[in-house]
Amino acid sequence: MATHANYQKTYPISWEQLHRDAKALAWRLLGQHYFKGIIAITRGGLVPAAIVARELDIHLIDTVCVSSYDWKDKKGEADVLKGFAGDGEGWLLIDDLVDTGRTATIVKEMIPKAHFATIYAKPAGRSQVDTFITEVSQDTWILFPWDAESQFVQPLASTR
């Protein structure tokens, strides 16, 4: 995971917006495929997977767990903490965001036949995803609601 300081812009997402965008993802997937289950990429894919599962009436949910260490001493490494048995045929793979595509590449190698969907996609990783809702620029930090607290912020005009 890269640090917030490396980004030019911040795009804060509220719980309401995340819910709307996850529901829009489910709407886009509805009728395209039959999915026997969802595989959430932890941790970011857990909340979107729950919303999509509800909207698509899917009760079978599994996870894959990949931990990236860019913010620690192990720059560039990723550990698979929990994999998935099978090639993903008939499964829907969900994450909140595809950024550089590094995690997506690892997961797609493990589960090559799953349909991969994210809510948000950046240009560097977009080609890894089968379905997404919103594209954001590579230099944008997406601030998810589980990573933020409500607090006062200065108006844009006062930060110049």
Higher per-residue pLDDT: 75 or 150? 150
- 84 closest CA partner among 37, 48, 28: 37
pLDDT at position 72 = 47
| Exposure on the CB side of residue 67, measured as CA atoms within 13 A | 7
Number of domains in the chain: 1
CATH of the domain at 111: 3.40.50.2020
115 lies in a domain? yes
28 lies in a domain? yes
* Token duo for residue 157: 């005009």
pLDDT digits (tens, 9 = 90+) for 123-141: 999 999 999 999 999 999 9
114 lies in a domain? yes
96 lies in a domain? yes
* Token duo for residue 44: 């970011």
156 lies in a domain? no
Q: How far apart are CA 106 and CA 4, in angstroms?
A: 23
Beta bridge mates, 41: 64
Instruction: Provide the annotated active-site residues.
Output: 95-96, 99
Q: What is the mean pLDDT of residues 69-75?
A: 53
Range of the domain at 93: 8-146
Q: Name which of 16-30, 55-69, 103-117, 145-159 the model is least confident about.
A: 145-159
Q: Is residue 87 predicted with pLDDT exceeding 60?
A: yes
Report which secondary-structure segment, H or E, holds 27.
Answer: helix 15-29
pLDDT at position 109 = 94
Q: Is residue 39 predicted with pLDDT exceeding 70?
A: yes
3 lies in a domain? no
- 45 closest CA partner among 8, 84, 9, 74: 84
pLDDT at position 15 = 95
User: What's the whole-model pTM score?
Assistant: 0.85
131 lies in a domain? yes
Is beta strand 78-82 parallel, antiparallel or unpaired with respect to 61-68? antiparallel
Q: What is the mean pLDDT of residues 106-129?
A: 96
SS3 105: helix
